[in-house]
């Protein structure tokens, strides 16, 4: 409390508060990017306003949050290219964070499946008129993806290595000719600070962003141990836990099938289906009122 880390939260659902930490990491990544001007040593922090941005491996749970923030923050790119190699994830992302909504906020959003492409760098640059990008965010700790991000940078371009590798020896090539002559730079972020979390909370309270798109599974306190032990084998995004109920960790996509035999899941399926398949405050309220207490 002496460090002002007790943060007020006035959202309409508990689960948004639980997402303030991952969102703060995303916000911190955006703020850590920087750009310079010739003749000055001042670093202008943040992504380039109205610039060109690419998010590589960008439709996982954290990538979805990054797209949401890019579209709905005050500082936005004019072009946002999001790549991945998972067709199902790309399709889900395009339905949750649409090209049409992006256009309403002045952003041209393009989803690209780079799987099988012989030269994804050239293709992605062609989407930007053959030019490099001002900001490139790398959301997977994969050597070719990092090197692809480096190759996409334009003059004064900034690469943010957001993804956290588990291998302490992880390395990738970086073009230092461009560092010297084209002022390209690389930053990395891990976590967000208190101000990043405050910003995340404010944007969720005002419904500027909806990080519920990250959540793919919901469970109770008694599902935590098994879920934690088996997490690498459970597909999807964030696993949401309600500590005061008993419930197996359940994929939102399975609610409808389970609802054939369980009225609780039948109603939850109806609620989330009416909300584009996304967990929401209404679903939370129903679950807490009707699930088995623990």
Q: What pLDDT score does 264 carry? A: 97
Tokens of 237: 């995004």
Mean pLDDT confidence for 160-169: 95
- Whether pLDDT at 157 is above 90: yes
Beta strands in the chain (DSSP E): 34-35, 44-45, 52-56, 79-84, 108-113, 133-138, 153-161, 185-188, 215-220, 238-242, 245-246, 250-251, 292-293
Number of neighbouring beta carbons within 10 Å of residue 3: 6
Query: What is the pLDDT at residue 5?
Result: 81
pLDDT of residue 1: 82
- Whether 99 shows a pLDDT value over 90: the answer reads yes
Domains and CATH numbers, the chain: 14-205 (3.40.50.720), 211-293 (no CATH)
- pLDDT (tens digit, 9 = 90+) per residue, 246-291? 999 999 999 999 999 999 999 999 999 999 999 999 999 999 999 9
Prediction pTM value: 0.93
Token reading at 293:
């207490």
If we measure between CA atoms, which residue out of 283, 231, 199, 276 comes closest to residue 20?
199
Looking at residue 43, what is its pLDDT? 96
Burial class of residue 277, CB neighbours in 10 A (0-12, 13-18, 19+): middle
CA nearest neighbour of 152 among 82, 99, 62: 82
Whether pLDDT at 9 is above 90: yes
- CA–centroid distance for 65 within its chain: 3
Structure confidence at residue 257 (pLDDT): 97
Helices (H), 182-231: 194-205, 224-229
Give CA angle at 199 (278, 31), nearest 5°. Answer: 105
Confidence of residue 236 (pLDDT cuts 50, 70, 90): confident
Strand order in the sheet with 153-161: 108-113, 79-84, 52-56, 133-138, 153-161, 185-188
pLDDT, tens digit (0-9, with 9 covering 90-100), for 44-77: 999 999 999 999 999 999 999 999 999 999 999 9
The DSSP secondary-structure symbol of 206 reads T
Average pLDDT, the chain: 96
Give exposure, 285-294, as e/b (b: 16+ Cβ within 10 Å): ebbeeebeee
Confidence check: pLDDT of 148 > 90: yes
Cα 279 to the chain's mean position, in Å? 16
Neighbours of 168 (CB within 10 A): 5
> What pLDDT is recorded for position 86?
95
């Amino acid at each position: 409390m002496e460090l002002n880390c007790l943060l007020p939260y006035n959202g309409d659902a508990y689960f948004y508060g639980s997402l303030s930490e991952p969102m703060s990491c995303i916000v911190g990544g955006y703020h850590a990017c920087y750009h310079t001007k010739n003749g000055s040593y001042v670093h202008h922090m943040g992504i380039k306003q109205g610039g060109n941005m690419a998010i590589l491996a960008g439709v996982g749970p954290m990538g979805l949050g990054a797209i949401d923030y890019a579209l709905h923050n005050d500082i936005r790119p004019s072009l946002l290219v999001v790549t991945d190699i998972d067709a199902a994830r790309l399709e889900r992302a395009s339905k949750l964070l649409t090209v049409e909504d992006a256009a309403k906020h002045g952003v041209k959003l393009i989803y690209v499946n780079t799987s099988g492409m012989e030269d994804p760098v050239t293709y992605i640059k062609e989407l930007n008129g053959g030019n490099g990008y001002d900001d490139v965010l790398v959301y997977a700790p994969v050597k070719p993806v990092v090197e692809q991000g480096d190759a996409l940078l334009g003059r004064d371009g900034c690469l943010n290595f957001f993804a956290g590798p588990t291998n302490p020896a992880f390395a990738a090539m970086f073009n230092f000719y461009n560092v010297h002559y084209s002022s390209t730079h690389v930053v990395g972020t891990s976590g967000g600070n208190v101000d990043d979390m405050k910003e995340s909370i404010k944007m969720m309270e005002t419904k500027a962003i909806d990080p519920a798109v990250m959540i793919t599974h919901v469970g109770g306190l008694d599902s935590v141990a098994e879920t934690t032990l088996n997490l690498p084998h459970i597909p999807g995004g964030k696993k949401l836990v309600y500590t005061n109920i008993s419930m197996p960790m359940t994929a939102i996509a399975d609610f409808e099938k389970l609802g054939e035999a369980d009225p609780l899941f039948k109603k939850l399926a109806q609620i989330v289906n009416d909300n584009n398949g996304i967990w929401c405050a209404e679903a939370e309220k129903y679950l807490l009122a009707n699930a088995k207490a623990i």
